[in-house]
């Protein structure tokens, strides 16, 4: 399955490169119309559902197309929950930044200080990798979710399969020897954020899910956001997630129930458009972090002339200027968001099909519409 992809980095950069020129400035209803047209196009491309949000200041508008359940044909709901995949990473980095602000660790601490022996195989050395390098994806560590691992995840035959974080790290370390020294090269790997979650536990004695819940979800009132640690189900009002298995475009599988332990602190969370927008605004606007940590969050490792990576968030240049963004891609779901510097202008979108390959026609079309809608705000 050569088309399998396990990171959202390639998706984010590829889709950003494909966006069309932004339209002239427009009001929020105008941005909504652009997003709605993109949602309809995404459904015409084959997505079961596309939902989206544009927000400027206190004004929010939604876009919605398709059905949230292909069996019942229930119309999609922009308030529905979905798996956010790698958008979990910003929650994880926020906790570590808060812990630094409290003096409980430094992002320049080595991984070995908090996790002795956890990165010590095949030429990798945790005494040379910092927590910051985990968060900005410059650690040099490889991805664990490749090859047969990803194939088995995509088959989804064992949604309750337990994966201890150290087991995932060990898979990564064994996959290949280092190709660059820590701090030298940017390379997206879920391994970095699995380790970041392990650091949270080492510092606090609690799981990343507990810390994220108490530090972010509850204070911000994100009532439709959760961090499941073992239960593969979604409850309440949610979009079903689907996949078109590669090579079988006329078969669609319901993959709503899937293994959350596969990605953990790198990608296990569930949320909604509104909750994600609230979190992003609080994060980028300085509500969650003191000024020093806000600066660290937004200090980027270079990827290209038009993109960089902060601590769990991308910085990318669009036709209308620079924006913060990140995508989340897990079995059955693909989501993406854009925001200006302080979170006062935002677009968020979620699609209910992902088969671990990117980009698809639907991703390209909905991304074009989303960026144009954001640039119209």
Q: What is the mean pLDDT of residues 337-347?
A: 97
Q: With cut-offs at 50, 70 and 90, classify the pLDDT of residue 249.
A: low
Residue 4 lies in a domain: no
Evaluate whether 329 touches 150 at the Cβ level (below 8 Å). Answer: no
30-44, 219-233, 351-365: least confident range = 351-365
Evaluate whether 51 touches 61 at the Cβ level (below 8 Å). Answer: no
Q: What is the mean pLDDT of residues 152-160?
A: 96
Residue 31 lies in a domain: yes
* Chain centroid offset of residue 274 CA: 15
Domain extent at residue 267: 9-376
Q: What is the mean pLDDT of residues 264-287?
A: 98
Statement: residue 353 has pLDDT above 80: yes
Share of the chain above pLDDT 70, in %: 93
Q: What is the mean pLDDT of residues 259-287?
A: 98
Q: With cut-offs at 50, 70 and 90, classify the pLDDT of residue 347.
A: very high
Cα(9)–Cα(160) distance, integer angstroms: 27
pLDDT of residue 259: 98
Q: What is the mean pLDDT of residues 154-164?
A: 96
Q: With cut-offs at 50, 70 and 90, classify the pLDDT of residue 31.
A: very high
pLDDT tens digits, one per residue of 174-195: 999 999 999 999 999 999 999 9
Q: With cut-offs at 50, 70 and 90, classify the pLDDT of residue 19.
A: very low
Q: Alpha-carbon Rg of the chain, whole angstroms?
A: 19
Residue 290 lies in a domain: yes
Which segments within 17-133 are labelled E, that is strand?
A: 49-56, 59-69, 74-75, 82-83
Residue 348 lies in a domain: yes
pLDDT tens digits, one per residue of 93-124: 999 999 999 999 999 999 999 999 999 999 99
The per-residue pLDDT of the chain, averaged, comes to: 93
Residue 235 lies in a domain: yes
Statement: residue 2 has pLDDT above 80: no
Cis? peptide before 169, omega within 30° of 0: no
Statement: residue 196 has pLDDT above 80: yes
Residue 3 lies in a domain: no
pLDDT of residue 125: 98
pLDDT of residue 24: 42
Catalytic residue among 86, 226, 335, 347: 86
Tokens 């699995």, residue?
A: 194
Q: With cut-offs at 50, 70 and 90, classify the pLDDT of residue 250.
A: confident
Residue 46 lies in a domain: yes
* 86 is known as an active-site residue: yes
Statement: residue 335 has pLDDT above 70: yes
Statement: residue 129 has pLDDT above 50: yes
Q: What is the mean pLDDT of residues 346-372?
A: 94
Statement: residue 14 has pLDDT above 60: no
Evaluate whether 32 touches 348 at the Cβ level (below 8 Å). Answer: no
Q: With cut-offs at 50, 70 and 90, classify the pLDDT of residue 306.
A: very high
304-324 burial, b for 16+ CB within 10 Å, e for fewer? eeebbbbbbbbbbebebeebb
What is the CATH number for 64? 3.40.710.10
Residue 21 lies in a domain: yes
Q: How many domains does the chain have?
A: 1
Cα(265)–Cα(90) distance, integer angstroms: 10
């Amino acid at each position: 399955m050569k088309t399998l992809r396990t990171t959202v980095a390639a998706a984010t950069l590829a889709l950003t490169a494909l966006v069309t020129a932004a339209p002239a400035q427009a009001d929020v209803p105008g941005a909504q119309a652009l997003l709605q047209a993109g949602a309809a196009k995404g459904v015409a491309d084959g997505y079961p559902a596309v939902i989206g949000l544009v927000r400027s200041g206190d004004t929010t508008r939604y876009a919605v197309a398709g059905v949230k359940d292909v069996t019942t044909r229930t119309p999609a709901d922009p308030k529905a929950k979905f798996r956010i995949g790698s958008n979990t990473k910003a929650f994880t980095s926020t906790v570590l930044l808060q812990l630094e602000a409290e003096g409980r660790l430094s992002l320049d601490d080595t991984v070995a200080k908090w996790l002795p022996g956890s990165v010590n195989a095949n030429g990798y050395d945790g005494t040379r990798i910092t927590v910051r390098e985990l968060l900005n994806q410059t650690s040099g560590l490889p991805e664990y979710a490749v090859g047969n691992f990803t194939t088995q995840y995509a088959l989804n035959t064992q949604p309750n399969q337990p994966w201890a974080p150290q087991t995932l790290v060990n898979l990564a370390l064994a996959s290949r020897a280092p190709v660059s020294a820590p701090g030298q090269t940017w390379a997206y790997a879920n391994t970095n954020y699995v380790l970041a979650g392990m650091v949270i536990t080492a510092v606090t004695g609690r799981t990343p899910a507990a810390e994220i819940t108490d530090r972010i979800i509850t204070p911000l009132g994100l009532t439709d956001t959760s961090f499941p640690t073992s239960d593969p189900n979604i409850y309440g009002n949610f979009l079903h997630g689907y996949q078109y298995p590669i090579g079988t475009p006329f078969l669609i599988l319901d993959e709503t129930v899937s293994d959350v332990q596969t990605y953990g602190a790198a990608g296990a969370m569930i949320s909604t458009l509104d909750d994600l927008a609230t979190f992003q605004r609080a994060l980028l606007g300085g509500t969650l972090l003191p000024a020093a940590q806000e600066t660290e969050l937004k200090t980027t490792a270079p990827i290209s002339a038009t993109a960089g990576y902060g601590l769990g968030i991308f910085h990318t240049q669009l036709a209308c200027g620079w924006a913060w963004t990140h995508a989340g891609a897990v079995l059955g779901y693909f989501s993406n968001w854009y925001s200006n510097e302080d979170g006062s202008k935002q677009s968020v979108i979620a699609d209910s099909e992902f088969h671990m390959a990117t980009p698809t026609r639907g991703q390209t079309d909905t991304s074009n519409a989303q960026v144009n809608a954001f640039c119209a705000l």
